[in-house]
Chain A
Amino acid sequence: MRKILVWPVIALMTLGLAGCASDKKQTTAEIEDASVGAGGVSASGLGSGSDASGQVIGSQAGTVDDPLSRRVIYFEYDSSVLTDEGRFIVEAHAAYLASNPGMAVVLEGHADERGTREYNLALGESRGAVIGELFQGLGIDPSAIRVVSYGEERSVALGHDDNAWAMNRRVEILY
């Protein structure tokens, strides 16, 4: 039990230090060390991931033919089945990653606001996992792939209509 009480102090100290440092990766690792059985992969980090997605949505409005410029895969309601277009984009990224071994990829799954939060967490996970499996099938090293689901917590469109929901049902391919 003593160990348990110590943990938050360590966490607080590390997080406090993180306030001054700019290296988030290191912070993450230190917290993981204090835990039991964490599966430690943390490649690109979350913040840079969010940056990448922001750029992609902007550029999508333009005309870009290169599928590698599209890093957001959209899904139907309550579905984790890839559309033909989604599969085309995923395959392009898989080919790129396969020719650039050593790159780590984070698949960030999301859901629209309908349905319960925990169910949507699971749904975002399933969406990410589908792409992860396809990546593996296309020759990407499983250890280079990490799936993280934010469920409905990180919407890119804040409306309550079909258009907003369609934008939010997505997986972001981050590397």
Chain B
Amino acid sequence: MKRLILAVSMLALSLSGVRAVALTIEITKGADGGIPIAVVPFKWQGQTALPVEVGDIIAADLYRSGQFNPLPVDDFLSRPSDESEVKYKDWRLIKAVNLVVGRVTQMGTDRYAVRFQLFDIFRERQLAGFRWEVTGSDLRKIAHQISDKVYEALTGRPGAFDSRIAYVTLLRTASKGSEYQLMVADADGYNPMQILRSPDPILSPAWAADGAWLAYVSFEDGRSKILVQNLHTGARKKLAEFPGINGAPAWSPDGKHMAMTLSRDGNPEIYVMHIASGSLRRLTNHSSIDTEAAWSPDARHLVFTSDRAGRPQIYRMSAAGGRAERLTFEGKENARASYDRTGKHLTLVTNQGNGDQIGVFSLSKGSLEILTDGRFDESPTFAPNGAMILYAAQRGGSGLLSAVSADGRVRQVLRSESGTVREPAWSSLNR
């Protein structure tokens, strides 16, 4: 009984965004052959200290993507900040293919003008250029947007640097017991904000496509429930608290429906709720476990995990209902699939007999590629541009987030200073 009282007195649910310790990124497997690019430190025109090193953030973003090789600043022969100062010969000498220059100008108290230009060294011309006026707190965001523009201009695919991730941390201490936190941070682990804290488990965060709402599962008073929370206001709404499990929320692409797993009618089945009215439609009807639904980008299909053939495998069905078609046959088990933005690939957890790893399944070829080598890898989530997959891994008995490029060439670890990190979810592009 003592423990009960303690648990209740600690049930301090915090909904306001609380600043927390940033995740630190460590590249654990680099790739050769990225595009050699020179990112010149941005010129600072102001009286006080430059609040944020924009050039450093851009270089770090591009490096982490695995598709760029930012050249060492010490090798630069000149440090231009706009087109008039660029000598193309200087950059050919150090074998740069592309060049990013820019400057930050103080316009007033907490007001900054940021401009950048991207150049093709060999064709000697500008590929992209942009100017913004922002407050200091938005400088990191602008740096990520510049990275996105550079990435898109040079790879032809949208960047995903200006996006966010959600994840759950768990801290176990002898004095306080378990403390779960639902966190939201920039895609590079900076600006982490705590949006929920609870002594009871928090699970399965899922982003609405507009980036303003998160759905999740909380056990905050001893039973599972699905909640949605607005990230701007902190307002919460309870979507489901039926008898049995209320799990695996997944927003439809238009944000109007939520797929979820409920066992209210007997055993775990997949339902779709119309969020505004709360009305439910049951999609699966099978005596086995059906869970972990995910929508195709065109909202026509859902994939889900079912053990109807004995072990968990991935199935697909029409969002209108009907028959389910089994997709995965390779490996002992496959679970928790979700689509990339093209709808052509699924990322999933696969067990080939040696623990749980992250794989990419091609829907057209029916083939599975395994990208990781852990034993407890789980919760894979595609970057909104499909270039990276973020997932949860275990190292030294503690959970951490890892990211792998969709081609498996680059791997990195996002580490928290305290506690274990799990269940990442990558937002859509905020456009």
A contact residues vs B (CB 8 Å cutoff): 4-5, 7-8, 11-12, 15-16, 18-22, 24, 27-28, 31-32, 34-39, 41-42, 45-48, 50-51, 78, 113-119, 121-123, 125-126, 129, 146-151, 153-154, 158, 160
The smallest C-beta distance from B280 to any residue of chain A, in angstroms, reads 10
Q: Which residues of A contact B1 (CB under 8 A)?
A: 47-48, 51
From A11, A39, A113, A125, contact of B13 by CB (8 A): A11
B15 interfacial by beta-carbon distance below 8 Å? yes
User: Is the beta-carbon distance between B238 and A48 smaller than 8 angstroms?
Assistant: no
A22 close to B8 (CB less than 8 A): yes
Contact of B245 among A28, A31, A122 (CB under 8 A): A122
Chain B residues with a Cβ under 8 A of chain A: 1, 3-5, 7-13, 15, 200-201, 203-204, 217, 219, 221-224, 233-238, 241-245, 247-248, 261, 263-264, 266-268, 278, 289-292, 305, 307, 311-312, 333, 335-336, 349, 351, 355-356, 375-376, 378-379, 394, 397, 423
Contact check, B245 vs A47: say whether CB atoms are below 8 A apart.
no
User: How far does the alpha carbon of A126 sit from the alpha carbon of B268 in the complex, in Å?
Assistant: 8
B263 cross-chain contacts in A, Cβ below 8 A: 122, 125, 129
Contact of A35 among B241, B245, B290, B305 (CB under 8 A): B241
Q: Is the CB of B241 within 8 A of A125?
A: no
List 10 additional contacts besides A4-B237, A126-B289; criterion CB under 8 Å.
Answer: A7-B235, A8-B236, A36-B278, A38-B242, A47-B3, A78-B312, A117-B203, A118-B336, A153-B203, A160-B375
CB pair B4–A7 under 8 Å, yes or no, is no
Which 4 A-B pairs rank lowest in CB-CB distance, beginning with the nearest? A47-B4, A46-B222, A122-B268, A39-B243
Let me know if B15 and A8 touch, CB within 8 A: yes
Most buried by B among A5, A24, A116, A149: A116
**Beta-carbon nearest neighbor of B336 in chain A:** A116
Residue among B5, B8, B268 with the most chain A CB within 10 A?
B8
